[in-house]
Amino acid sequence: MQTKNNRDLIRNEALRLGFDHVGFSRADFLEEEAPRLEQWLSNNYHGKMSYMERWFDKRLDPRLLVDDAKTVVSLLLNYFPEKNSTIDDPKISKYAYGDDYHFVIKDKLKILSDFIKKNIGDVNGRAFVDSAPVLDRAWAKKSGLGWIGKNGNLIHPKHGSFFFIAELIIDLELEPDGPIRDYCGTCTKCIDACPTQAIVAPKVVDGSKCISYFTIELKEAIPTSYQGKFDNWAFGCDTCQDVCPWNRFSKPTSENAFTSTNNLPNMSYSDWEEITEEIFKRKFKSSPLLRTGYEGIKRNLKFISLRGEKPA
């Protein structure tokens, strides 16, 4: 009974803080993920993301990240915008419309962690927001928050896939939730629509071919062999999510921090051409675009304007 009460306390506080969904899983070794991750790395699907090669064991066992870890609390926060971009040149991924999610979610997790200590007891743990060796989608799946779609994204059966995923790994034992079934069926819309054919098999994404990798992670020149294949994406790519039938259930986020205040979704090529580095840093000081930086964005814009990608 106490375990259920603790689960309810944590879930209710997380929902009060603005998280949309909460799930619990036992902090054990991810046996199913181990061979998949090893194969993915051996195929060099991580490209130049060398950090993916580090901390292999920690990615699979949360007890190596948190002493005496008992439970992984997975949390989803919706970022689907109220209004989509009205232009196709250039395109910016929806997750970047507002403030950087790392800071927004970390603040919420700090409050949640303090709440747990105050209301449950001496509970120790760590918060993770896509910034440490944690396989967030695997944990979210294990805790029943959705299934892994053929595009590699977590899909919630009622609200689609436009979510940020975060975790609290704690040394408090809580009753785990079970996984749910996969509802993708025979649909291959995401595979068929990928502009660079980065989805090489159901649930397997070759990151080194993904537009998000090229426009965000890659720090060197984009291979010329991909010119004309970016479908005007200048930062990230939402194509595989946009075509997913389950995202017809997506609802606008209630998190004000993810609402665009800088007209980013509707900036045209001419708007970007007028921006100096000083203006860029001031305009996007709290934006995910800082990850790529001014020079990176300019590189991406120049690349997609080649071979006729830029509309006449």
**How far are the Cα atoms of 122, 205, 216, 268 from residue 294, in angstroms, in the given order?**
45, 28, 12, 16
| pLDDT digit string, tens, across residues 105-116 | 999 999 999 999
Longest dimension (CA), the chain: 66
Which tokens hold the place of 81?
Answer: 């915008």
Read off the pLDDT of each residue in 45-62 and give the average, rounded to a whole number. 95
Report pTM.
Answer: 0.94
pLDDT band, residue 83 (cuts 50/70/90): confident
What Cα–Cα distance (Å) separates residue 32 from each residue in 29, 128, 135, 214?
9, 21, 12, 29
Strands 125-128 and 163-170: antiparallel
CB distance 287 to 96 below 8 Å: yes
**pLDDT over 80 at 267, yes or no:** yes
312 pLDDT band (50/70/90 cuts)?
Answer: very low
Nearest CA to 293 out of 214, 213, 219, 212 is that of: 219
pLDDT tens figures, 215-228: 999 999 999 999 99
Report whether 180 contacts 144 (CB < 8 A). Answer: yes
Contacts of 307 (CB under 8 A, 6+ apart): 227, 228
Q: Mean of the pLDDT values across residues 288-301?
A: 96
The per-residue pLDDT for 14 is 98
Of 114, 130, 192, 271, the catalytic one is 130
pLDDT at position 1? 53
Q: How far is it, in rounded angstroms, from Cα 24 to Cα 129?
A: 16
Catalytic residue at 89? no
Q: How far apart are CA 297 and CA 299, in angstroms?
A: 5
